[in-house]
Amino acid sequence: MNRFEWHYTPIHGSWLDMAEIEIGVMCRQALGVPLADMESFEKQVKAWTQQRNDKCAKVNWQFTTKDARIKLKRLYPTIL
């Protein structure tokens, strides 16, 4: 049990999409410049993560059911 670190996923929206959004934010904010080595990379990511957590930053999820029915129309059954 001690080998696992539990992360609870959000109950609304797609948690994978939210994770991808967060990775994109990190890439733009923390990794926009070349880093010399892996140690520099880890240091930069840890500093960015701490700053993001201190701000209690959240993902603004705006993909509604209405949007899903339009964008994913081919996945919904057609009722005749």
pLDDT digits (tens, 9 = 90+) for 18-55: 888 899 999 999 988 888 999 999 999 999 999 999 99
- Asked if residue 60 belongs to a domain, the reply is yes
Does some domain include residue 22? no
Task: Express each pLDDT in 3-22 by its tens digit.
Answer: 888 877 666 557 777 888 89
pLDDT at 44: 93
Q: According to the model, what pLDDT value does residue 16 have?
A: 79
- For residues 72 and 38, what is the distance between their CA atoms, to the nearest angstrom? 40
Domain that holds residue 76: 36-80
Local confidence band at 72 (pLDDT 50, 70, 90 cut-offs): confident
Cα 16 to Cα 2, 4, 22, 33: the distances in Å are: 25, 20, 10, 26
Give the chain's domain count: 1
For 55-66, b/e burial (b = at least 16 CB within 10 A) is: eeeeeeeeeeee
- 54 inside domain: yes
